[in-house]
Amino acid sequence: MKEYILCAAIHNPEDRDDAGYPLIYCGHRHCNVLWQSKKVSRRPSHQGFLTNAGRFVDRKEGLEIAIKANQVDETKLGNPIIGLFSEDLY
């Protein structure tokens, strides 16, 4: 199975579910995720993506996955040094 980016996601390691795992909030873009709840972390280091394999990845790994999956046009990336932005996908 080829891994690809499903959606923008923000994990909040301080906020845990009933099983003790960090909560991951997902949405079309990061701004949509931030609107979901006051509990969503606003820290840029917590922003990343959810993959079809169910993994949360940071922006840099997200960019690597999106490039391999042909999900982005490398000539039109927002800031490849920081990593993938949800706007790069659509």
pLDDT tens-digit readout, 5-55: 999 999 988 888 899 888 899 999 999 998 887 778 888 889 999 999 999
Helix (H) or strand (E) run with residue 37 in it: none
Chain segment 48-58, per-residue pLDDT in tens: 999 999 999 99
- 29, 5 Cβ separation under 8 angstroms: no
Query: pTM (2 decimals)?
Result: 0.89
Integer CA distances (angstroms), 24 to 5, 19, 38, 56, 79, in order = 15, 13, 13, 8, 24
